[in-house]
Amino acid sequence: MTDYGHDLLFGTFATPTVQPVRHAVDLAVVADRAGLDLVTFQDHPYQPRFHDTWTLLSYVAARTERVHLSANVLNLPLRQPAMIARSAASLDLLSGGRFELGIGAGAYWDAIEAMGGPRRSAGQAITALDEAIRIIREVWAADRPGGVRVDGEHYRVNGAKRGPAPAHDVNVWVGAYKPRMLRLTGRMADGWLPSLPYFQNGPAELTPMNEQIDEAAVAAGREPAQIRRLLNIGGEFSPTGRSLLNGPPEQWAEDLAGLTLEYGVSAFILMADDPATIEVFAAEVAPATRELVAEERARTAR
Amino acid sequence: MSGSYGHRLEFGTFVTPVNASPDTPVALARRSEALGYDLVTFSDDPDQPAHLDTWTLLAWVAGRTDRIHLAANVLTTPMRPPALLARSAASLDLLSGGRLELALGTGESDRAPGGLAAVEALGGPALEPGAAVDALGESVDVVRAMLDAGDPAPVRYRGEHHRLDGAAGGPLPAHHIPIWLGGTDPRLLRLVGATADGWLSTLDPATPDAVRAGNKLIDEAAREAGRGPSEIRRLLNVSGRFTDTRQGFLHGPAAGWVEDLLPLVVEDGVGTFILITDDVATMERFAREVAPALREAADRALPAPLPRTAARSGAVRARRRPGIAYDELPASLADRAVEPGDIDYSRVKSNYLRGGAPGLVLRPRTPAEVADALAFARAHRHLPLGIRSGGHGISGRSTNDGGIVLDVGELNGIEVLDEARRLVRIGPGARWTDVAQALAPYGWALTSGDYGGVGVGGLATAAGVGWLARKHGLTIDHLRAVELVLADGRVARASETENPDLFWAVRGAGANFGVVTALEFEVDEVGPVGWAQFALDAGDPAGLLTRWGAAVEAAPRDLTSAIIMGPPRMGQPAVAQVMAMVDSDDPATIVAQLQPLADVAPGYDQQVVITSYASVMANASDAPHQAQGEPISRTGLITHLTAEFAAAAARLLTSGVVYFFHIRSIGGAVTDVDPDAMAWSHRGSNFHVTAFGRHRARLDALWDDLLTEHLSGTYLSFETDLRPERLTEAFPPRTLARLRTLKKRYDPDGLFRDNFAITPDTASRTTP
């Protein structure tokens, strides 16, 4: 039982397809109006069937009002960390504090190299992500004296001016599965963002990974609760319960509350490409899950 | 003196992207749009922590504006990997509806000295000025290669600074994104001449000759590269102050500004002025008093007025087809016309099943523009002429090779005229899925075809065999009036009371008589419907066909069905797909009517849902048609699926020649109409049969040999055989004779001849 006690967030993960051009925009507007907390898009810059994620996030931010936005997760190797920092702060300022930075070390190295990016080993990719997060946080720290200096193996920033500071404390969420990435998450990140379909043995696989993150956090002098546990989920609404996240909305709420109370997951990001599913998730699943979790937290607090 | 380069004179603003009050640059961009500026631009200084990231701001502003074009002024290219820049540009162009322009620079300029050092400090590449221009040139190459999604080959590029190793190109932007280069370095100017679409610089009143000197270098480099200097737009950032009395260059009243700027247009060929200001009053005054006066003054001073539309580049003109007077297109059509070199060409050249390579696609938005397009087509009688609404027709007649296509896709309105009478007016460019969606909230539907992506115009002038055919008849049975442009350019309205002969002809032979611009239908009340999909054993194809045919004929009119069969495949059971719609929301009625269909053969799978007609029609992709090659089909109408027909069909299926065999039910309400009421006269037919094959001659031989004797009449929208007998199958002698008489009246010279041409009745003519 590992509940880190965070408020629950509910979000979407829609395919950023370029055809129809406004598919992802329209679904984001649905999520915003339905009262969801978060809209996210995958980032695969080598995939011409998808929009450029940064451009899409910026455009969607301008077309929505309340919902927070993040890449899920941003592909680092084709972007300059200092530019990510400035762009993220800019989008946070323009959107009134609605941007969060989901970021990953990168994958599909053949495709990245084909696009003119670097090819990195697993170890190099993690080092590069570590350097990038340091640069990004340094750029955001507008009030600190002096320029940004990070002399890394992959990124060297030599005296760049600091700032701008984002409008709110932008969360850095890291997509991670392997031990070194989990340790980086525990050491540096504000959140951990894996995908449930990735776990062949189901949510039970979350437990040992949570432990690795917690250990790394403690070793770095942090509280494990400083790291929010987010989860991309897929599922189906059906009249009768069949399996995890395949059943009526009430069953979804019980499934998700279980993920919160047993595995500490406090953000559920639904892979969905149709408005009806998003609306049911927002109108029925989210409030019922919040209620179940609140009841159980109140019960155990007594 | 370089003179004018003949570009449309445009005006933009240059706004500082301050982040202290991020709403300010956004508000200034919206103000620029409201004031009628063509373009809003923002500086891009990645090292400036007081500024917003320019790309993020451009995308945000795209989401908050509707019309104005957007550009950086200019983008610090070394901080952005060019392949990703291309993808981002395509995305922003698509999301904004074709409003992005790319202005690229090295980061260093007169406005931003030390820019290259700033790039390095930020973690970008360390570049000397010369290398920075080389790298910029490579970036231009990479961006262009990535955006040329007409070429499906992976992009490979080996440069000094940039390397691509098989990156997937695309996506295709919404419009041709021009690449302008910004700066004054002579190496950069030569690069502009060699490759760019524009040169962007900032006017320094202290060195007024710099523009002319730059132009000279650019023009020389352009000529060396075999380009015309006029292909390169000259853009100039300018700043000044409005005062009541003239105090200096761009410092005085509006009239003084016009006087100062005029020589730059007339003598130095500047095509775009971008006003550097964050002051709304200056922006307003320039837009209202300087821009229009400067346009007028330039038109007076130049030998010929500047064009009001964009000119096409040499590269686009090089891909023009012979025999088309492209430059004589009327202004109403020129802007939206698509030529083989245009970015939209791959989106409009092909049909759903037929590849095309037309020389010119005209996209009129009004009946008057349709008339202009037909006038142009009359001057090109030597070329094929296709009329396209949705581009779905199996016959493929709406595209061609080297000819003209008149695409009415923009005439796509859907409007309820009279709710009590259920009278609806629909443009020919609407698609049936859109029509179904629009009618659903009223509890209405209009039977169409079986696929939502089909356009209204082509189908509703041919017949319209759809999922409610047996209950509600053909689409043309619901037509109450049409408006069309005739071959001679006249606009006509036809109904039972206005031009009734024409109304008769349009309902079945519309493609021969004009370009329909609006159709008025009386639609039906249709509530939830039953929708079934069965997978049935087709081991005995002949028996299956006769039993299915008998079950359909015996069914109540609520039920309309179709069957799809393929050739037997080695080692797999033969399976037929049967679809059926039952116009009822009562589960017991639906099941009772479907049961005889499900019983015609053992079933593998079945799905029955109660849904809406609109949901069934929401089966179409929004992607542009990308077909290649020629579809090969034969088609016909039949009264009953007799044992003899079924045996012949089974032989066709096992021949290996046919890969897709499709029968749809008609009958029912279709038979209620007098065969002479409209040009489509096959009221006794209960079924529509179509086969697709891979070899023209083999399919024709088998079809003619096996099936023709069983058929009576045909449906030309599905026919790809162009031999003249098809026309006489489509129209029985009495109908054809009347059509020929009317053809002589409405299109005596045969302008509409590429979609199963009816020859005019020339009996009374003295000349051939």
Beta pairing class for B251-252 and B241-242: parallel
Say whether residue B341 is in contact with chain A using an 8 A CB cutoff: no
CA distance A268 to A255: 11
Q: Identify the pLDDT of residue A248.
A: 95
Give me the helix-helix angle, A122-140 and A81-94, nearest 10°: 50
* pLDDT (average), residues B288-307: 91
Chain B residues near residue A42 by CB distance under 8 angstroms? none
pLDDT tops 50 at residue B1? no
Backbone angles phi, psi at B645, to 5 degrees: -60, -45
Which tokens in the block code for residue B528? 């939830």
The answer to whether the Cβ–Cβ distance between A60 and B55 falls below 8 Å is no
The answer to whether the Cβ–Cβ distance between B95 and A52 falls below 8 Å is no
pLDDT digits (tens, 9 = 90+) for B505-522: 999 999 999 999 999 999
CA distance B451 to A285: 35
ipTM for the complex shown: 0.97
- A154 to chain B: nearest residue by CA? B123
The answer to whether the Cβ–Cβ distance between A80 and B59 falls below 8 Å is no
The answer to whether the Cβ–Cβ distance between A51 and B121 falls below 8 Å is no
CA distance A255 to A252: 5
CA distance B284 to chain A (A): 25
Nearest to B88 among A48, A54, A89 (CB): A54
Chain A residues near residue B91 by CB distance under 8 angstroms? 18, 51-52, 55-56
Burial B717-747 (b: 16+ CB within 10 A, else e): bbbbbeeeebbebbbeeebbebbbbbbbebb
Question: Which residues, other chains included, contact B15 with Cβ-Cβ below 8 Å and sequence gap of 6+?
Answer: B25, B28, B29, B32, B40, B41, B42, B277, B278
Chain B residues near residue A142 by CB distance under 8 angstroms? 49
Query: Of B360-364, B518-522, B763-767, where does mean pLDDT reach its minimum?
Result: B763-767
Cα separation values, B368 from A39, B339, B486, Å: 45, 21, 12
pLDDT digits (tens, 9 = 90+) for B323-360: 999 999 998 899 899 999 888 898 899 999 999 999 99
Nearest to A78 among B81, B121, B169 (CB): B81
Question: Which residues, other chains included, contact B367 with Cβ-Cβ below 8 Å and sequence gap of 6+?
Answer: B483, B485, B491, B517, B518
Say whether residue B424 is in contact with chain A using an 8 A CB cutoff: no
Query: Of B90-99, B114-123, B437-446, where does mean pLDDT reach its minimum?
Result: B114-123
For the domain made up of A9-235+265-272, the CATH class stated in words is alpha beta
Which amino acid type is present at position B308?
A: R
Q: How confident is the model at residue A39 (pLDDT cuts 50, 70, 90)?
A: very high
Q: Identify the pLDDT of residue B397.
A: 95
CA distance B25 to B233: 26
- Please name which of B2, B77, B67, B73 lies closest in space to residue B38, comparing C-alpha atoms: B67
What is the Cα gyration radius of chain A? 19
CA distance B716 to B509: 9
Q: Identify the pLDDT of residue B152.
A: 73
Q: Identify the pLDDT of residue B309.
A: 67
Say whether residue B133 is in contact with chain A using an 8 A CB cutoff: no
CA distance B699 to B636: 14
- Please name which of B362, B229, B26 lies closest in space to residue A58, comparing C-alpha atoms: B26
CA distance A26 to A34: 12
Q: Identify the pLDDT of residue A195.
A: 97
Query: Of A35-44, A175-184, B156-165, B302-311, where does mean pLDDT reach its minimum?
Result: B302-311
Which amino acid type is present at position B172?
A: L
Q: Identify the pLDDT of residue A1.
A: 61
pLDDT digits (tens, 9 = 90+) for A139-190: 999 999 999 999 999 999 998 999 999 999 999 999 999 999 999 999 999 9
Chain B residues near residue A61 by CB distance under 8 angstroms? 60, 63
pLDDT greater at residue A226 or residue B570: A226
- A75 to chain B: nearest residue by CA? B84
CA angle B216, B218, B223 (to 5 degrees): 95
Number of CB pairs, chain A paired with chain B, less than 8 A apart: 169
pTM listed for this prediction:
0.83
Which tokens in the block code for residue B289? 């008093």
Nearest to A115 among B26, B50, B167 (CB): B167
CA distance B355 to B664: 26
Average pLDDT of the residues of chain A: 96
Q: Identify the pLDDT of residue B205.
A: 81
Nearest to A155 among B56, B123, B622 (CB): B123
CA distance A92 to A86: 10
Chain B residues near residue A160 by CB distance under 8 angstroms? 47, 118, 121-123
Question: Which residues, other chains included, contact B600 with Cβ-Cβ below 8 Å and sequence gap of 6+?
Answer: B536, B544, B547, B548, B551, B578
Q: How many CB atoms lie within 10 A of CB B105?
A: 27
Q: Identify the pLDDT of residue B47.
A: 86
Q: Identify the pLDDT of residue B768.
A: 37
* Domain ranges within chain A, ordered by starting residue: 9-235+265-272
Chain A residues near residue B171 by CB distance under 8 angstroms? 18-19, 48-49, 51
The answer to whether the Cβ–Cβ distance between B53 and A51 falls below 8 Å is no
Q: Identify the pLDDT of residue B15.
A: 98
Q: Which of residues 551-580 of B touch A (CB under 8 A)?
A: none
Q: How confident is the model at residue B767 (pLDDT cuts 50, 70, 90)?
A: very low
- B18 to chain A: nearest residue by CA? A90
Which tokens in the block code for residue A74? 């941003």
Chain A residues near residue B24 by CB distance under 8 angstroms? none
* pLDDT (average), residues B546-572: 94
* pLDDT (average), residues B375-385: 97
Average pLDDT of the residues of chain B: 94
Domains located in chain B, CATH noted:
10-301 (3.20.20.30), 321-527 (3.30.465.10), 529-611+632-730 (3.40.462.20)
Say whether residue B167 is in contact with chain A using an 8 A CB cutoff: yes
Give me the helix-helix angle, B54-64 and B82-95, nearest 10°: 10
Cα separation values, B289 from A92, B260, B278, B292, B768, Å: 38, 14, 18, 6, 61
* pLDDT (average), residues A53-69: 98
3-state secondary structure (DSSP) of residue B239 = coil
pLDDT tops 80 at residue B545? yes
Q: Identify the pLDDT of residue A26.
A: 97
| DSSP codes of every residue in B567-603 | ---TTS--EEEEEEEES---HHHHHHHHHHHHTTS-E
